[in-house]
Amino acid sequence: MSPTLIAVLGIIVLFLLMLLKMPISFSMFIVGFLGLLVMSTPTAAFGILTADLWNQLSSYSLSVIPLFILMGELVFRTGITEKLFQSAYKWVGHYKGGMASTTILASAGFAAISGSNSATAATMGTMAFPELKKYNYDDKLSTGSVAGGGTLGIIIPPSTVLIIIALQTEQSIKDLFFASLIPGITLTVLFLLMIIYICQRNPDLGPAGPKAAMGERFHSLIDVIPIFLLFVFVIGGLFFGWFTPTESGAIGAFGALILSLVMRKLTWEKLVIATSSSLRSSAMVLMLVVGAMVFGRFLTLTRLPYDVAAWVGSLNVAPVLILIAILLIYLIGGALMDAMGFLIISIPIFFPVAMSLGYDPVWFAVVLCMVTSMGAITPPVGVNVFVVKGLRADVPIEKIFIGIVPFVIAYVLCIAILTMFPEIVLFVL
């Protein structure tokens, strides 16, 4: 049996295991290890497994994951982000669709600390839905803005998805963080423009709220300054080389702890919940990394990624068409299964293809992150949509999916802009 056929059979078995509800990390580990046994001797397979596991899990850079997760959990559990929502509302709440725009702006602010799409959607939904209902916002617009805004959590740094991509492709976490800043802001602006366009066409969808005095607006910024300073210090310190990504995560977690204590938002119960939730999330992410490492090594031995890259390179087709095909595969894959899981499975296959086509690795990583985050709101497995459904049980799931259509359009526009003008991603490097 040829190595290529073995690799294809391994991928088929992997998807069968996932269809049987086995966790993605375990599925990748089992298939990867069995593949190593087939492609080499048991002694060599165990040797590869133990050496790679030790090197991966003892990596200093890997510790950045639980630290940034803890920072987001502390801010999320202590309710500090409520100040973000209140401040954003005072500035834009009096415009048509202002409450939906407030949700997007507050989501962007929380994303700058959280790094999680579901946490961002849950936090913003808890605060926004009572106000959205109070001002008679259309259910589709209100649920769509919460679900769409939540996806900013894995684009605006610090992002767990960007960290995983950096580790899998052996890139600098720092470079990916900075490269995603402008795309994240661009997507946020496109979200706001979509809301403005929708509410200009039909003002009843998003009625304007009361207008706050200018003094109230500026006073509301005082409550936001500590959160803003935490983000600037963590990301700015990383940019200026004051500390490494891991040190940045440690300072961010410590800063979130001090901030919650100073603002008297932290209780012992909240600290325990934040810590335990961080441990669970970190264990899940680290197991995904381990499974991806074993599965990736199996694919490397079969040389499937290189064969695919060579085959694509021999095609007489414009590279941009192949890129579109890859992104469509990611979109379909993210719609059928967990978007992050599909990303981890597919990177060993498609990253070499993108490199063979001449695309910049940093740019491609940011675009992949963008497509992955879009998978959080596309049917049938849009995790943010189900988070919103849990908060608004009275709204049919079909209506929520209709509500996210404008935000999916914004994603497509943003990806198209990044493709036409890659300098938006690369100029900060």
- What was the pLDDT predicted at 115? 66
Statement: residue 335 has pLDDT above 70? no
- What was the pLDDT predicted at 186? 95
What is the spatial distance between Cα 14 and Cα 326, in angstroms, rounded to a whole number? 20
Residues of the chain with pLDDT > 90, as a percent, come to 17
15-70 per-position pLDDT tens digit: 898 888 888 788 888 998 899 888 888 887 888 777 777 777 777 777 888 888 88
- What was the pLDDT predicted at 55? 74
- pTM here is 0.82
Structural contact between residues 408 and 364, judged by C-beta atoms closer than 8 angstroms: no
Residues of the chain with pLDDT > 70, as a percent, come to 96
- Sorting pLDDT into bands at 50, 70 and 90, what band is 338? low
Statement: residue 403 has pLDDT above 90? yes
